[in-house]
Amino acid sequence: MRVGGPIRMKIQRALVSVSDKTGIESFARFLTEEGVEILSTGGTYRAISEAGIAVREVSDYTDFPEMMDGRVKTLHPKIHGGILALRDNEKHTGAMADHGIGPIDLVVVNLYPFEETVAKASVARAEAVEQIDIGGPSMVRSAAKNHRFVGIVTDPEDYGRVMDEMTKQSGELSDDFRRELAVKAFQLTARYDAAISDWLFKQELTDGKTDQPTPGSCSLAGTKLMDLRYGENPHQVAGFYRSGGSNEPSVATAEVLGGKALSYNNLVDLDAALALTKEFEEPFACVLKHNNPCGAAQNASLAAALEHAWSGDPLSAFGSVLGMNRPVDLACAEFLTSGNRFVEAIIAPSFDEDALDHLRTVPKWGKNVRLLACGEFGPKDRDASELELKRLVGGFLVQGRDLLTESASDCKTATKAEPSAAQLKDLLFANIIAKHVKSNSIVLATEGRVLGVGAGQMSRVDSVKLAIEKAGDEAKGSVLASDAFFPFPDGVETAMEAGVVAILQPGGSMRDKLVIEACDGKDVSMVFTGSRHFRH
C-alpha cells in the first residue's frame, strides 16, 4: 500500500464464486500464475479444481462447513471481515490479527440467475425463490463498499480488463478502475433486488393475496442494451435498457436482422406498433408515424392487410414504422419496395428468407431499413401484470396496461337505429385502433381497414375534421370510433355530414341526450361501450 495519493494494492487473495462460469477457468489460471491465492465454493470450486488450477475451498479457509444445501457458505466473519476491513485503520487491522482474518483483495462474484428463471413460462414459485441469491449480493456489496482496497468483478466481460490492468501494474488495480467496478456492482445489486420485488409483487397480485393495485415502493431497473446517438432530439442523451423478468415478445427482446442503428424515436414507434399489432389474431398490419397509426388493416392475407394499411394515408406512410403479426413474406417485401415507398423500420414475428434477402438487397432499403424479428405473438401473450411507468420531474406515475378490448356484448345501442352486423364489426375494429391513437382520438374505418385518423387535437371536433380530411371521399359510408365521449353534438354532426353511418363512443357526457338526438335526426346508429381509452 502506498501512503498518500490513490491507494494501490497488490492482489494476493481472491474469492471466486460465480453462477455464470463463462471464462472463469482462464481467469482463475491467470490469477494463480500471478501468485494469487483463490478461495472458492461449490460448483465454482469444482470447475476450477477439475481444470487443474490451485484453489482452496471456503469451508476449509473458514473452518466452518458449507450447509443447508449451500445456503450458508460465505456468510462468515473471515470472509466479510477480509473484504470489509479498512487496511489503513489500525483498529481494523488489529481485529484482523486478533481473529486470524486474512485480507481478500479481489472478489469475483455473479449472482444466481433470478431474472432468467422467472422469465420462463409457468415457473414455480419455489423454483424462483431458490434463485434469490443471498451470499452473492452480500459479498458484492461488501467489496463495492470497500472499493478503496478491494476489486469487485461481477461481469465476465471484465475479466480481460482485469487481467490487462494487473499485467500492466504488477498485480495491482488502479483506484479509478476499482471505483468503476464498484459502480457496476451496485448497479447489478440494485437491478437484482428490483427484479425480485417486482416479480414477488406480481405473484401476490396473480394469487389474489393483496388488494393493493400498485406496489408500496417501485424501483426502475434494467440492463443497458445500447447507447443511442441521441434522444428525441440531437441535444438529448439517450440509452436503451431491457428490464428483466418478462417473457412477452418485445422490442427489447427482438433480434435486429438489418438496417441502420436504431434511434430513440424508432424504438418508441416500434413499441407502439407492436402493442397495436398484438391486439389482433387474424393477419394484420399497421403503419405508424410519430407514435400514431396512420393506417391499419386486417385481411385474409398479410400482403392484402399491408396494402390496405398503406392506403389509409400513403403520404404519411413514407418514412413510417410498420408492425405485422405474421412472418413477412416476399409479396409484402415486393409491395413495400415498389413505387416510391420507404419505411424506417419493420417489426414482425419473423421474415421469410426470400423476403429478407429482397429487403436487404434493394437499393435504398438494404442498408437503411431496420428489420426486427420478435418471435410469434398474439393477444394472449400480453402480460397483464406489467406496469406502465411515466417519468415526471421529481417522480413518476405507474399504471396498469390498457388491455381492455370491447366485444359486441359490451356495445349498447343508444339510438333508434341499430348498427348492422358488418357495421358493428367495423366499429369494434376502429375502436381497437382508436385505443392506440393519441387523444383526442377519432378513427374512420370500413371493411377492416382504417380510412382516416384524427389524433392529438385539443378539441374532439377538430379530430373528427382531420379524420374526415384524411379519409376523403371514402368517409361516406364509413364508421367512426372515438376514444372518449362527445361533449357536444358538433363532432357527430360533422361526421354525419361527411357520410359516416355508424358511431361508437364510451358515452357518459352530460350532453349524451343531445348527441343521441343529433344521430336520430339523421337515422345514424350509435353504440356506447362504457369504457374510455385515453392515450396521452
pLDDT band at 1 (very low <50, low <70, confident <90, very high): very low
Bond prior to 146 in cis (omega within 30° of 0): no
- Residue count of the chain, please give it: 536
Q: 123 or 377, which is more confident?
A: 377
364 and 390 in contact (C-beta within 8 Å)?
no
Q: Is the pLDDT of residue 496 over 60?
A: yes
**Catalytic residue status for 364:** no
Q: pLDDT tens digits for 454-487?
A: 999 999 999 999 999 999 999 999 999 999 999 9
**Catalytic residue status for 412:** no
CATH 3.10.20.340 corresponds to the domain 248-378 = no
Q: Is the pLDDT of residue 41 over 70?
A: yes
Domains 248-378 and 408-528 share a fold: yes
pLDDT band at 213 (very low <50, low <70, confident <90, very high): confident
**What is the rounded end-to-end Cα distance, in angstroms, of the chain?**
58
Which residues are 15's β-sheet partners? 39, 107
Q: Is the pLDDT of residue 6 over 70?
A: no
Pairing mode, strands 255-258 and 238-242: unpaired
Domain edges within the chain:
13-199, 248-378, 408-528
Catalytic residue among 21, 92, 184, 290: 290
- Predicted pLDDT of residue 7: 67
Instruction: Report pTM.
Output: 0.85
Handedness of CA 171, 176, 178, 180 (dihedral sign): negative
Mean confidence (pLDDT) of the chain: 92
Catalytic residue among 145, 184, 425, 522: 145
CA dist 469 → 68, 92, 152, 446, 504 (Å) = 71, 78, 62, 16, 19
Instruction: Kindly state the percentage of the chain with pLDDT values over 70.
Output: 97
Question: What topology is assigned to 13-199 in CATH?
Answer: Rossmann fold (3.40.50)
Residue 460 C-beta-side C-alpha neighbours within 13 Å = 22
Question: What topology is assigned to 408-528 in CATH?
Answer: Cytidine Deaminase; domain 2 (3.40.140)
Q: pLDDT tens digits for 353-390?
A: 999 999 999 998 989 999 999 999 999 999 887 888 89
